[in-house]
Amino acid sequence: MRNELTEYNYDWRFWSILDNASKLFDATEKEFTSTMAYTPSFRATTGKLSTTGKAGHRLVKATARYFENILTARSRGKKIGLITYNFSPAVLFAFDVVPYCLEGMSAFYAAAWNRGIYESLDYCCEVGFTETSCSGQRVALGPVLAGLAERPDFIVCSTPGVCDSNANAFAFASAYLDVPFCQLNYPPTLTDERAVEYHRADFRNMLSFLEEQTGKKVDVDKMREVCEEIIKQDEIICEIQDYQRLVPCPVPGIFNLFIYDIKVLFSGIKDGTDILEAMLEIVKDNAERGVAGDGVERLRGFFYYIDHYCIQMKYWRWLEKNGISHIGTMMTDFWQANAPYARGREEEGYRMDLSSLDSMIDSLAAQSSRMPMVKQIRGPYDAPHMWLDDTVGVANLMKADFLAFMGTMGCRNTWSMVKLITRDMEKLGYPALILYADSFDNRIEPVDTFLGKIDEFLRVRDIRGWKGAVWK
Amino acid sequence: MIVAGCDVGSLTAKAVILGDDRVLAVRIGKVKSRPEISAREIMEEALKDAGLQMKDIECSIGTGYGGKQVPFAGDTVSEIACHARGALWLLPSVRTVIDIGGQDCKVMKLDRDGRIVKFATNDKCAAGTGRFMEVMARVLNVGLDELGDLSGRAKKQLNLASTCTVWAQAEVIQKINEGERVEDIGCAVNNAMANRIVILANTVGVENDVCMTGGVSKNKGVVKGLERLLDIRVKKLRFDPQAVGALGAAVIAGERRKGGGEQ
Amino acid sequence: MREEIREAVTVLANRYVMKWKSGGGRIVGYPCSYMPVEVIAAAGMLPFRLRAMEVVSTSIGSSYYGPVVCSFPKCILQIAGERKYAFLDGAVVCNGCDTMRRLDDCWRKANDDMPGILPSYFAHFAVPHKVTDYSVKWFAGEIRKLIDSLEKHFSVTVSDDKLKMAIAEYNRSRTLLGDLDAMRSGPDAFLSGTDAMAIFIAGTAMPAADFNALLEDVLGGLKKKKDALPGRRLLLVGSVIDDIDLFKTIEEAGAVIVADTVCFGSKDRTDLVREDGDPVAALAERYLGSVKCPRMFGDYKRRFAFLKELAEKTGAEGVILQNIRFCDLHGSENGIFERDLEAAGIPCLRMEREYGPLGDEGRVRMRIDALLERIGAGGGGSRRALSADRSR
């Protein structure tokens, strides 16, 4: 790692970027533009977020608070729990633990910062990771391992049984830093009695771990508080996703990222609900006016795994500029029983039952077991409730014109089945493209190259008469 | 006392002859169809240069991928040890040796007595090896030995995002098509290579003095990039860096002959 | 090495397989050490651990698997696609790791294009990643589910008594393998790692009864040998190996592999299954109870303690930490093993490789030579020197 990168604490650095950015949103247009001139390396990201109005502003403010909570955790006597993005942080809020979501941070670092992330990716390899390991964790884990970010008190990882690469990164962090490790481990099926029983027992086992780490017992009132907030948030998310079905799609593409950001960073707390309320207002307004979220809709794309976060969100800006409505990823579907894609498949979704502490715990366990990836890639891809079912369901519901796969080069699980699902989707009549880019590491396949491939694909396959992308 | 070292690598064969701790001959040539032929031919050329005959050699050591097939070698020693030993002979203060060969990249850390205390080798991938540079030079249509000088003439900072040989090749072609100057792209290639080696170097932990061996160390752009990224100075060896392995083999042969230290 | 052992190691349809088939026996393949083979044996069938030593290309494997995954499962699919697994009546794929568990998906889909490459019985079997009372209970349920499906498909009965007999038979193998393992351990090791590995591998490719008879015979012969083998004592750690040539390459460089923790090798092969009580529960405890594979997340400390003890017990002077490219479970854990073993004064070599026949001997040899020279020169580094190094 270069010397200059070791001068500042990463959490502090990004808190200050966000905190300053959040203040900028209250500035005049002139103040905003002239300040932007001085922030070349994250100007485009801030600019992008500023175009989303109140929702983007609230998201930046809430994220600044997220970092601030991490930075002040020690002085406030709170514990920091290092978690992965497919673990709902709501239960940590109920325990008054400060969550530190690795991939959430990775996506943010990748979006806000062009250069330094490569060094944190590589730092992990210098201390022992294979260079083929998943980038999703490495971007943000580098500074943690280097002692340039807050040290976690413990780790909760919810990917064993779902994603080896992810679980392995957290297991590595636990061994390297010598901090306690707790895993939520999932069976390959979702709704049968044995699976449900396992989910519940495992979730309770995790609660015991949290009790042990925090020295606190489960607090019924706090648990109820976060569960009530989850219900509010889920209702709004489901409504937004219902609007997403409209042609043209009134939901701005970037709101997909907001949805999963909220679920992985602010689930169960008011910050998340506030952002969602602002989002819904914008979406409703667009819908009433009959306009697309990003202006004009030329095509509707479903990204059947994850998105791309590097180089100042160029991918998001490119989709928007080209009128490609982003109608979701695996990451946007959390499987609330009342989600639009769960209609007719309600048993696969979760419901929040607040009648007793036990029912709340069971509900959270069910929610946990339906998190993105946790639900779909735990079993054979074409088994009931798994990746193929969900991809077909969403592609039909959201009227996708084409599908594109993008992940990370470290993702052994999806790279071992993506050819199969892609072939199936093609047979079902959906043009589907496999991209060899990496969501967090632009060095694998640079953003312009893979966007060019999407453009070429749309042209060659003549999807809705695609005439070529706008690049400038 | 006349001793020799012969290093038969994946792309080149090298021979060094020492006489009473002085270099009498150094020869480098492309490998032939079989390692034993490469070894014999390169050694014969070196012997000719030194005005000697095979029977004059009192002890010789083979090293490299084809080291075991060197017909006249009394023994073989790994190229990791030979590069370290050769570098130490040339620069007694050396603690870190970075060797970038055609197929492999290695970083060795030595203690005060010149023993290897730690070493790391590249992963099973062509990125970060001479092979990467070869592919890039071909795409840029410049000679491998010209690639290093491009950095000095670069005017614009270009970043080669990928260090994977396959993707980087595509990216270089894209940059050429975009009308970027060959010098600027070449500089980006050299920096990408340096970036790649830094990871390996940091795995063992770099300690001064540092020197480089192997063909890629002739590339000034890569050396400069490494110096910048690692915040170090790479000490120049007054010897062909490609033949340091063969030199090390000859030094070890000398020690064996004297009955000295085993490396 | 005896011819029948060499054959079992290098030829898929070896003489034991052919004899079993010609006697009307059925064979069920499995790819992972977490598979309780006793269940298959108790169903009257031959459990056969899937391998791909005869592979020369991955053209079929790469058509279904993506480019950035481990070559081992890809090669198994290749062999299946080439119809070299025609002797299988069934296969059970389990989730040892993500790439391996997708052999289920890939094999089935390849069968759509190449009908008949899938055995008539094909099942998915899941193993939890943690050891708790409820995970062991769930795993026992998974074993029962497997028993039910075998019974239904093949119209056989797997009684508790049959399970107990199978457990006893495999426990006998484990005890004998333990004796064998001791002969290649320590400064007095007189059995080479290559020969020991060949026997360990052979045991996965023949009926337990034949294997036990063979093993007893081999052990009897070995007991007369007493001359210690020369060479540096090494411990081999990491990704799956079923390639005795890799062992040979290492040992020919001047080493004796006195212990290993690799699949197909001695890892888990000497741990007994409890013979009292409910046999299914006993199998669940024994198989899930093993945390020697990094698939059991969060158990690094126990694995490191085991490794360190093994190195001490067997007199290992150095450790080879290898992984197949894209096997990040072993590869990354090897990074921490290296840190901690070096700190304990044990020299390590970290190395990436490809699966068996796709491997590159030259690359391996150069690295092994350097490790051995480092050990020979005392460059293992004193505890002091290495701990100073870590503090940089």
The model carries a pTM of 0.92
Say what the pLDDT of residue C381 is: 38
CB atoms within 10 A of CB A146: 18
Of A454 and B103, which is predicted with more confidence? A454
Beta strands (DSSP E) in A159-307 are: 181-183, 299-303
Residue A255 lies in a domain: no
- Rounded to a whole number of angstroms, the distance from the CA of B81 to the nearest CA of chain C is 6
Asked if residue B115 and residue B136 are part of one domain, the reply reads yes
Residue C174 lies in a domain: no
Q: Are B11 and B3 in contact (CB under 8 A)?
A: no
Which residue range forms the structural domain that includes residue A24? 3-210
Q: Which residues of B2-29 are buried (b: 16+ CB within 10 A; e: fewer)?
A: bbbbbbbbbebbbbbbbbeeebbbbbbe
Residue A121 lies in a domain: yes
- Rounded to a whole number of angstroms, the distance from the CA of A415 to the nearest CA of chain B is 18
Say what the pLDDT of residue C86 is: 97
Asked if residue C215 and residue C150 are part of one domain, the reply reads no
Write the DSSP symbol of residue A80: E
List CB contacts of B127: < 8 A, sequence separation 6 or more. Answer: B163, B164, B165, B168, B196
Task: Please check whether residue B82 touches C, CB under 8 A.
Answer: no
- Rounded to a whole number of angstroms, the distance from the CA of B163 to the nearest CA of chain A is 7
Q: For position A108, which CATH number holds?
A: 3.40.50.11890
Alpha carbons within 13 angstroms on the beta-carbon side of residue C371 total 33
Taking an 8 Å cut-off on Cβ atoms, the answer to whether C377 and B263 are in contact is yes
Taking an 8 Å cut-off on Cβ atoms, the answer to whether B161 and A130 are in contact is no
Taking an 8 Å cut-off on Cβ atoms, the answer to whether B205 and C354 are in contact is no
- Rounded to a whole number of angstroms, the distance from the CA of A110 to the nearest CA of chain B is 14
Residue A294 has pLDDT above 80, yes or no: yes
Asked if residue B247 and residue B232 are part of one domain, the reply reads no
Q: Pick from A412, A414, A436: which is nearest to C326 by CB? A: A412
C-alpha–C-alpha distance, residues C150 and C92, integer Å: 10
Across chain A, what does the average pLDDT equal?
A: 94
Residue C335 lies in a domain: yes
Say what the pLDDT of residue C392 is: 29
Taking an 8 Å cut-off on Cβ atoms, the answer to whether B171 and A446 are in contact is yes
Asked if residue B229 and residue B109 are part of one domain, the reply reads yes
Say what the pLDDT of residue B171 is: 80
**Chain A residues within an 8 Å CB radius of B123:** 130-132
Residue A195 lies in a domain: yes
Q: Pick from C352, C366, C373: which is nearest to B124 by CB? A: C352
Interstrand relation of C318-324 and C348-353 (parallel, antiparallel or unpaired): parallel
Domain count, chain A: 1
pLDDT tens profile A112-121: 887 778 889 9
DSSP-assigned beta bridge partners for residue A326? A301
Q: Which of C162, C194, C209 is the endpoint of a domain?
A: C162
List CB contacts of B98: < 8 A, sequence separation 6 or more. Answer: B105, B106, B107, B197, B201, B210, B211, B212, B213, B217, B226, B234
Asked if residue C327 and residue C201 are part of one domain, the reply reads yes
Which amino acid, residue B260?
G
Asked if residue B132 and residue B223 are part of one domain, the reply reads yes
Confidence at B10, pLDDT banded by 50, 70, 90: confident
- The angle subtended at Cα A114 by Cα A110 and Cα A115, nearest 5°, is 110
Which of A122, A129, A130, A131 to probe the B interface (max B CBs under 10 A)?
Answer: A131
Asked if residue B194 and residue B86 are part of one domain, the reply reads no
**Subunits close to C (at least 3 CB pairs below 8 A):** A, B
C-alpha–C-alpha distance, residues A247 and A399, integer Å: 9
Which residue range forms the structural domain that includes residue B247? 1-91+239-263
Asked if residue B98 and residue B87 are part of one domain, the reply reads no
pLDDT tens profile A79-118: 999 999 999 999 999 999 999 999 999 998 998 887 778 8
Confidence at B161, pLDDT banded by 50, 70, 90: low
Say what the pLDDT of residue B130 is: 84
User: What string of DSSP letters covers A110-174?
Assistant: HHH-SSHHHHHHHHHHHTT--TTS-HHHHHHHHHHHTTSSPPPSEEEE--TTT-HHHHHHHHHHH
Asked if residue B249 and residue B126 are part of one domain, the reply reads no
Residue B134 has pLDDT above 90, yes or no: no
CB atoms within 10 A of CB A409: 25
Which residue range forms the structural domain that includes residue C55? 3-162
Instruction: Evaluate whether ipTM surpasses 0.90.
Output: yes
Q: Are C208 and C41 in contact (CB under 8 A)?
A: yes
Residue A202 lies in a domain: yes
Say what the pLDDT of residue A386 is: 98
Residue A178 burial class via C-beta count within 10 angstroms: exposed 0-12, middle 13-18, buried 19 and up = exposed
The continuous run of DSSP H or E covering A319 comes out as helix A310-321
Asked if residue C191 and residue C157 are part of one domain, the reply reads no
Structure tokens at A273: 């609900």
Among A1-5, A198-202, A452-456, which range has the highest average pLDDT?
A: A198-202
Task: Give the helix, strand, coil percentages of chain C, each rounded to 5.
Answer: 50, 10, 40
Say what the pLDDT of residue A34 is: 83
Say what the pLDDT of residue C385 is: 31
Asked if residue B189 and residue B102 are part of one domain, the reply reads yes
Chain C residue with Cα closest to B119 = C349
Across chain B, what does the average pLDDT equal?
A: 90
Residue B182 has pLDDT above 80, yes or no: yes
Domain count, chain B: 2
Instruction: Over range A220-227, report the average pLDDT.
Output: 97
- The angle subtended at Cα B155 by Cα B153 and Cα B158, nearest 5°, is 110
Q: For position C337, which CATH number holds?
A: 3.40.50.11900
Taking an 8 Å cut-off on Cβ atoms, the answer to whether B199 and A122 are in contact is yes
Taking an 8 Å cut-off on Cβ atoms, the answer to whether C379 and B78 are in contact is no
Residue A39 lies in a domain: yes
Asked if residue B144 and residue B70 are part of one domain, the reply reads no
Confidence at B162, pLDDT banded by 50, 70, 90: low
Asked if residue B72 and residue B133 are part of one domain, the reply reads no
Asked if residue C225 and residue C134 are part of one domain, the reply reads no
Asked if residue B224 and residue B98 are part of one domain, the reply reads yes
Asked if residue C213 and residue C111 are part of one domain, the reply reads no
Q: For position B188, which CATH number holds?
A: 3.30.420.40
Confidence at B65, pLDDT banded by 50, 70, 90: confident
Taking an 8 Å cut-off on Cβ atoms, the answer to whether C98 and A164 are in contact is yes
Residue C367 lies in a domain: yes
Q: Are A235 and A243 in contact (CB under 8 A)?
A: no
Percent of chain A with pLDDT over 90: 84
The segments of chain C whose pLDDT lies below 50 read 379-392
Chain B residue with Cα closest to C370 = B78
Asked if residue B131 and residue B67 are part of one domain, the reply reads no
Interhelix angle A387-397/A418-427, rounded to 10 degrees, is: 40
Say what the pLDDT of residue A445 is: 83
Asked if residue C116 and residue C197 are part of one domain, the reply reads no
Instruction: Over range B72-83, report the average pLDDT.
Output: 92
Which has the closest alpha carbon to C197: C268, C259, C290? C259
Q: For position C126, which CATH number holds?
A: 3.40.50.11890
- Rounded to a whole number of angstroms, the distance from the CA of C328 to the nearest CA of chain A is 6
Q: Are B91 and B235 in contact (CB under 8 A)?
A: yes
Q: Are B79 and B245 in contact (CB under 8 A)?
A: yes
Interhelix angle A53-72/A43-50, rounded to 10 degrees, is: 120
Asked if residue C220 and residue C138 are part of one domain, the reply reads no
* φ and ψ at residue B178, rounded to 5 degrees: -75, -5
Residue A185 lies in a domain: yes
Domain count, chain C: 2
Residue C125 lies in a domain: yes
Q: Are C61 and C81 in contact (CB under 8 A)?
A: yes
- From chain A residues 33-62, the ones with a CB under 8 A of any chain C CB are none
Asked if residue C255 and residue C223 are part of one domain, the reply reads yes
3-state secondary structure of A337: coil
